Structure 1
């Protein structure tokens, strides 16, 4: 969406206009997202190609991915709404417009469902374009529904009627939101003035830290702060970062490796609020820890909170934001009260927060990171990395996938407990056994299989074939749940998770031509592993996306080494301080009974 406030013009796609929804997608879908996306794209393409072939012998003109545009004037604003219709067929005086949608279970699809109403609105928008362009032609509207698993098709004929009133209403609603955002911006200066230093006096060096952080943020640069406990790093960096974040309309991520550090930031943020600071912050907690059930299972059949949203969901969030610092305890309480998944609720609340405090995983893990913030550009985000010396090791773990025979055996054991056709069960088990044999063969290729660990060359083509077969099986596996039981596999389904792990293993294996990786085999542990020796290049790409990064710790020595390992640029500002405590107070203790022999 592009907004020109001076000309009162807005360019927006039909998808952006009719599908805005703050509700997160953390509970599902059960099919790996990359597979669901590729399968949907394949279904669209196949249907379009078949339609072209069928009409090739006739005089029918068939066009796919046809660009359409409608211009509307609402409250003195000019809206240019664009889109691409999946299929347009022109025969004589008739124009047939088709919108293709892939669904998980075609038998349970209803035209009265909320998503179907939006599908119809999108279809009618495309039809409206052709009606406006060719007013004398008859318009046919067809909603094509295709099952993503069985590829069964149903074509629903939708009567054409003008959607201009609905489009105008959507545009008016969007203008209202833009106006509210504008009002929020005008209040920003008052909010900035409310952020004051929470203590009566500053510690030595804190003033310099604060001034340096302000300078770094103004220059959109990075800062490394190496200082021992007692300097006041937490407030010294958080205070100016808060002022800049709120004053400039940014978002601040505070990342830690331990929950004890998050507790420290919680207490510090409350100090700012106690001083009448106008801010909104949230402490993100792991999904399992947020769960309200005695057993962690996100299957809607077993969890009353999964996929449950009240009609006044937005007002629930608005009410919660009156509490300036949201904690897991408060969120769980409100989630239980309104029968909402607490983790989902926390993610949705985070969209409205100035400060998000959480684990390294939420930003740097390629699997767990918050896609809602980091899928696209995030140069409006500032990042404080606390105890930053822990990040290089954690990042190496992110990019060091492994596959073991224990993992395979556990997956086979799970499949044996599932009730579906023997043919499918046997196909999955046989493929898993094939992977088990592959690991066996890697171990057998060693001259000395008694080694604890050894370097190997893993056959990339063999892993690619195993992955391809497993992905086909997992599509059939998930489809079986929909067809036979009319439900999805439970969240965290072991087989689905395992296929994701094999997929990630192969993704990293493809990059093993880089010096950062070593392919290893552990004969005793019966596993293969890709060991990431340095994740600096991965971190570098992520660090570049932020407005600014502040990495702080008491142990960032040598500074040059950590700058490279953290992926920070060469022009990173560096502050180093010694302990503020008197040297004569230092206590030296000797433990001669502790062996340091390797």
Structure 2
């Protein structure tokens, strides 16, 4: 076997091998990992203050030949020492850690932190023939900027013995990885595309591969039936086999699309590819407790988790390839570890990770083990149903703090910490002042720019969060701890977003249901998404509804150098008809019984021309209920008596969702109508193939309700792009329409009809967003629609 080079950072090495003890959601250093941005400023300040011969940010690397289990390889351990200087004739390695803890209370350095410094000390001593070296740990509080240092002198021999034990422990993992990657790559080379190419599919596969090869981004608008999942996964896996890709992240917005991705990888494995693929399940779903509480006092798995988890992960890696939720739960039970934390550790070694967008893009829950530093890796991001990422991105990078939450936590902590009580009171006073000025400006009808007051509020919040950190470390179990933790993390996220806030943000004050809040609203997520994507090699974004493509490309961090492609539908357009009603309006100002009568009439004539299964999509639950009640009236009840109507509920469990869909059977001998909401769980990601669904009625244009949030977006984009209505309302609404309509034709055998009920669909700004395969569409009245439906269905009798 060819000699391999395995590279690992000092930090990753020590954190992986030396971790031990309990999981704790509120223990020491709980924000240490997340203090990086602010910590870098503290680093520079401390480094600049040292003077003399102090050398900051010294790159160190050590390559050592190793032999284990018949595998020869070189292990390269690399990193940067925060500082190296001389004191009293002795070389000192300085490791600086910015923390939110009260550092003056520390009695000794953290083992993991000191281990990093010891690695640097050994490498430097080896390079410079030093018999001993001093390790200095410098801890600095990120708010108060108080500093505490620990010093210890180590002999070269002691460091050498310690370091060799460390890398020998890691060697079994390196050997497993080398053997596995060789086996995987060999298996990938021998597998061809597993299906006959559909029209346009071969070009799509080639385009994805070339995008990865050239380290670009690709934006694909491809209708249902093109085979987007296999067309993106296959070339990404091929690129992995050629060592262009280190890891594939298949990112989804919904659970159903994760299942499709799992099935696709399974197809490739059936063809002979060796791939380790893991699907991440949300913490709330996989936790062994009814409600996650990551403390040893509450969860038996949390106690000593880190003492056992490496053995559990290694056992799974050598025994399993397809790593399902059930397998994670099985191994976690066997080794008595947290299933969620174990799954996250497995991702380090998996070839592909199937997960929600959050794990890559959301700063609150992203996989920091992959994205916590600025180093670029050969990751490939495959983003499914990527139109969802625009709104999700805006949510992820926004932050909100409610005034009431400060008062609620103040009441909880008052008897335990006078200092924290005082800090929270200061925050509340500043919020009162903000609300007063905001109300006065609103009453006067003048714009209010709260930046200076918000800056002052942020200072108060920074003081409070330090005290919150100390409080949560001192008090581990008390009534209301969940509420305190919730505010703690909300503040932390708020401060993080405040740090990165730029001209693509708006500071937004408002009051809803009597609750006043300050919000850092992300208006355009492209900069933040770009920062994440730049940690990898390539990003491929794909959706059946990506119109207008330029809008999505801009919002999803695309540049002029990136690619955008449209893949034509492979389906026979003769098997589908699209009708637009010319005499119906669902505008809010036109909602009356005259229009309701028209809507119900169209639905009735549409579904009774042929027995079968239909979905009717409404702009809101309220409108859906109005139409349902109208149909229950005496005049219409008798006419619909042979139709079975089921209605989506606003809070459906997974089982209730499955039961809803089970009503749509093949070869239906009755008229089955499902009432659903556009943008809801049945408008995207469900597959009712063949005649399980033969028609869909789209009631309205799907435009979001006019509200303060939407108007904020409208004014922002009107000012910058002169397209305020389009960016805030139109594109979002039409995407819901296209997704809903996309439920009808899922396979080449499907036959179906689509009815758009709103006269606005005839306007140019709406028809410009119709996909190519919607042409030609037909404008109809109630009477002409009946005739055309009869003509259409007669072809398939």
**Shorter-chain TM-score range:** 0.7 to 0.9
Q: Which residue is equivalent to 1:208?
A: 203
Q: Which residue of 2 aligns with 1:268?
A: 264
Mapped to 2, the partners of 1:549 and 1:80 lie a distance apart of 29
Secondary structure, counterpart of 2:240 in structure 1: helix
| Residues in 2 aligned to 1:354 and 1:11: alpha-carbon distance in whole angstroms | 17
Partner Cα separation in structure 2 for residue 9 and residue 546 of structure 1: 21
Q: Note the C-alpha offset of 1:535.
A: 2.4
Q: CA 1:74 to 1:585, structure 2 compared with 1: closer, same or farther past 3 Å?
A: closer
Query: For the aligned residues, what is the CA RMSD?
Result: 4.6
The structure 2 residue matched to 1:258, chosen from 239, 254, 261, is 254
Q: Do structure 1's residue 340 and structure 2's residue 366 form an aligned pair?
A: no
Cα–Cα, structure 1 residues 443 and 550, in superposed 2: closer, same or farther, change >3 Å?
same
Change (3 A) 1:320 1:596: same
SS in 2 for 1:493: helix
Q: Is contact 1:254-1:358 (8 Å) kept?
A: yes
* Structure-to-structure mapping, 1:143-154, within 5 angstroms: none
Give 1:115 shift: 4.1
2:251 is paired with a residue whose SS is: strand
- Point out where structure 2 has 5 or more consecutive residues left out of the alignment: 67-72, 582-597, 601-626, 628-698, 706-797
Instruction: Tell me which of 207, 221, 225 is aligned to 2:220.
Output: 225
Residue number in structure 1 paired with 2:489:
497
The aligned residue for residue 289 of structure 1 is 285
Alignment-derived partner of residue 56 in structure 1: none
366-375 or 283-292: which moved more? 366-375
Residue 299 of structure 1 pairs with residue 287 of structure 2: no
Task: Give the conservation status (yes or no) of the 8 Å contact 1:221–1:573.
Answer: no
More displaced stretch, 550-559 vs 254-263: 550-559
Separation in structure 2 between the aligned mates of residue 481 and residue 228 of structure 1, nearest angstrom: 51
Task: Check whether the contact 1:293–1:303 (CA below 8 A) recurs between aligned residues.
Answer: yes
Gap runs ≥5 in structure 1? 53-60
Question: Partners in 2 of 1:412 and 1:446 — Cα distance?
Answer: 25
Give, in angstroms, the shift of residue 186 of structure 1.
3.8
Aligned-partner Cα distance in 1 for 2:117–2:227: 57
Alignment partner, residue 401 of structure 1: 399
1:356 aligned to which of 353, 358, 367: 353
Structure 1: how far apart are the matches of 2:453 and 2:96? 34
Map of 1:367-446 to 2, 5 A cutoff?
367-374=364-371, 375-403=373-401, 407-418=402-413, 421-446=416-441
Highest relative contact order (Cα 8 Å, sep 6+), 1 or 2? Answer: 1
Per-residue deviation, 1:109: 5.5
CA distances 1:422-446 after superposition (whole Å, capped 9, x unpaired): 5224313312312431341243232
Conservation of the 8 A alpha-carbon contact between 2:309 and 2:342: no
Choose 469-478 or 580-589, whichever is displaced more. Answer: 580-589
Query: Which residue in 1 is equivalent to 2:327?
Result: 330
**Matched-pair contact (CA < 8 Å) for 1:196–1:277:** no
Contact preservation (8 Å) 1:305, 1:340: yes
Q: Which residue of 1 aligns with 2:313?
A: 317
Preserved CA contact (<8 Å) 1:455 1:519 = no
Match of 2:236 among 238, 241, 249: 241
Secondary structure (helix, strand or coil) at the match of 1:445 reads helix
Structure 1 match to 2:454: 463
Q: Residue in 2 aligned with 1:57?
A: none
The 5 A counterparts of 1:520-535 are 520-525=508-513, 526-535=516-525
Instruction: Output the CA distance in 1 between the equivalents of 2:490 and 2:538.
Output: 36
Q: Which residue number in structure 1 is paired with residue 529 of structure 2?
A: 539
Task: String of CA shifts for 1:438-460, please: whole Å, max 9, x gaps.
Answer: 341243232438x9xx963122x
- Once the two structures are superposed, residues 376-405 of structure 1 have per-residue CA deviations (whole angstroms, 9 ceiling, x without a partner) of 3344111211111222222222233333xx
What pairs with 1:152-231 in structure 2 (closer than 5 Å)?
160=155, 162=157, 163-170=159-166, 181-193=177-189, 195-199=191-195, 201-231=196-226
For the residue of structure 1 that corresponds to 2:519, the secondary structure is strand
The answer to whether the Cα contact below 8 Å between 1:226 and 1:556 also exists between their aligned partners in 2 is yes
Contact 1:415 1:495 in 2 (8 A): no
* Alpha-carbon distance change, 354 to 107 in structure 1, aligned in 2, over 3 angstroms: same
Instruction: Give the secondary-structure state (helix, strand or coil) at the position aligned to 2:441.
Output: coil
* C-alpha separation in 2, matches of 1:116 and 1:159: 15
Tell me: CA distance 1:71–1:422, structure 2 relative to 1, closer, same or farther (3 Å).
closer
Paired residue secondary structure (2:305): coil
Q: Separation in 2 of the partners of 1:458 and 1:358? A: 38
- Deviation for aligned residue 1:192: 0.8
Contact 1:69–1:129, Cα closer than 8 Å, also in 2: no
Is residue 2:20 matched to residue 1:30? no
The 5 Å alignment of 1:445-594 reads 445-448=440-443, 456-459=448-451, 461-482=452-473, 493-504=485-496, 506-507=498-499, 510-511=501-502, 514=503, 516-525=504-513, 526-570=516-560, 571-578=562-569, 580-586=571-577, 592-593=599-600
The alpha carbon displacement at 1:281 in A equals 0.8
- Structure 1 residues 564 and 385: CA distance shift in structure 2, 3 A: same
SS in 1 for 2:225: coil
1:261-307 CA distance string (max 9 Å, x none) = 11221222222223332101111122222211122212333222336
Q: Secondary structure at the match of 1:550?
A: strand
Question: Using a 3 Å threshold, how does the CA distance of structure 1 residues 72 and 203 change in structure 2: closer, same or farther?
Answer: closer
Instruction: State the distance in 2 between where 1:320 and 1:73 align.
Output: 28
Q: Which residue is equivalent to 1:58? A: none
